[in-house]
Homo-oligomer: A and B are copies of this chain.
Amino acid sequence: MLYLDGNSLGRLPLGTINAVRSVVEEEWAHELVLGWDHWIGLGETIGDRLAPLIGATAGEVVLSDQTSVNLYKVASAALAGTGRTIIVTDRGNFPSDRYILDAVARSAGGELRFISEDPTLDDLAAALDASVGVVSLSHVGYRSGVMLDGAAMTAVAHDAGASMIWDLAHSAGSVPVALNEWNADLAVGCTYKYLNGGPGSPGFLYVRSDLLEQLEQPIPGWFSHADQFAMSETYEPARSIRRFVVGTPPIISLVAAGVGIDMTAEAGIDAIRRKSIELTSLFTEGLTSLRHHGLVQITPADPGSRGSHITVSHPRGYQISQALRAQNVIPDFREPDLVRFGFAPLYNTYAEVERALEILESILTTEAHATFPEARGRVT
Question: Is the C-beta of A96 less than 8 angstroms from some C-beta in chain B?
Answer: yes
Q: Give the number of residues in A that approach B within 8 Å (Cβ atoms).
A: 80
Q: When chains A and B are docked, how far (Å) is the Cα of A256 from the Cα of B29? A: 13
Question: Is the C-beta of A327 less than 8 angstroms from some C-beta in chain B?
Answer: no
* Chain A 192-227 near chain B by CB (<8 Å), digits 1 or 0: 100000111111000000000000001111110100
- Residues of chain B within 8 A of A203, CB atoms compared: 247
- Residues of chain B within 8 A of A3, CB atoms compared: 32
Among B5, B30, B235, B252, contact of A253 (Cβ-Cβ < 8 Å): B252
- Residues of chain B within 8 A of A39, CB atoms compared: 199-200
- Residues of chain B within 8 A of A379, CB atoms compared: 33-34, 36, 229
Measured CB to CB, the closest approach of chain B to A229, in angstroms, equals 6
Among B34, B253, B380, contact of A250 (Cβ-Cβ < 8 Å): B253
Question: Is the C-beta of A127 less than 8 angstroms from some C-beta in chain B?
Answer: no
- Residues of chain B within 8 A of A40, CB atoms compared: 378, 380
Q: When chains A and B are docked, how far (Å) is the Cα of A65 from the Cα of B202? A: 10
Q: When chains A and B are docked, how far (Å) is the Cα of A250 from the Cα of B203? A: 10
Q: When chains A and B are docked, how far (Å) is the Cα of A225 from the Cα of B335? A: 15
Contact: B12 with A24, CB < 8 Å?
yes
Among B24, B98, B198, contact of A28 (Cβ-Cβ < 8 Å): B198
Residue of B nearest to A30 (CB): B1
Q: What residues of chain A have their CB less than 8 Å away from a CB belonging to chain B?
A: 1, 3, 5, 8-9, 11-12, 16-17, 20-21, 24-25, 28-30, 32-37, 39-40, 65-69, 72, 91, 94-96, 98-100, 102-103, 107, 190, 192, 198-203, 218-223, 225, 229-233, 235, 246-254, 256, 330, 332, 334-335, 376-380
- Residues of chain B within 8 A of A249, CB atoms compared: 66, 200
Measured CB to CB, the closest approach of chain B to A308, in angstroms, equals 16
Some 24 contacts from A to B, beta carbons below 8 A apart, are: A9-B32, A11-B29, A20-B252, A34-B330, A36-B379, A37-B378, A66-B246, A66-B250, A68-B219, A68-B222, A68-B247, A69-B246, A72-B219, A72-B246, A99-B221, A103-B219, A200-B249, A200-B254, A203-B247, A229-B335, A229-B378, A248-B380, A250-B253, A253-B253
- Residues of chain B within 8 A of A251, CB atoms compared: 198-200
- Residues of chain B within 8 A of A222, CB atoms compared: 68, 94-96, 99
Q: When chains A and B are docked, how far (Å) is the Cα of A306 from the Cα of B375? A: 54
- Residues of chain B within 8 A of A201, CB atoms compared: 250, 252
Interface centre among A29, A231, A235, A332 (most CB of B within 10 A): A231
Residue of B nearest to A203 (CB): B247
Contact: A24 with B256, CB < 8 Å?
yes
- Residues of chain B within 8 A of A252, CB atoms compared: 20, 198-201, 252-253, 256
Contact: B376 with A103, CB < 8 Å?
no
- Residues of chain B within 8 A of A25, CB atoms compared: 12, 17
Known contacts A95-B225, A246-B96, A335-B231; A32 and B219 CB within 8 A of each other: no
- Residues of chain B within 8 A of A334, CB atoms compared: 231
Known contacts A222-B68, A253-B253; A33 and B5 CB within 8 A of each other: yes
Residue of B nearest to A68 (CB): B247
- Residues of chain B within 8 A of A380, CB atoms compared: 33, 36, 40, 248
Known contacts A33-B380, A103-B219; A198 and B96 CB within 8 A of each other: no
- Residues of chain B within 8 A of A96, CB atoms compared: 220-223, 246-247
Known contacts A16-B24, A250-B202, A378-B36; A100 and B219 CB within 8 A of each other: yes
Residue of B nearest to A251 (CB): B199
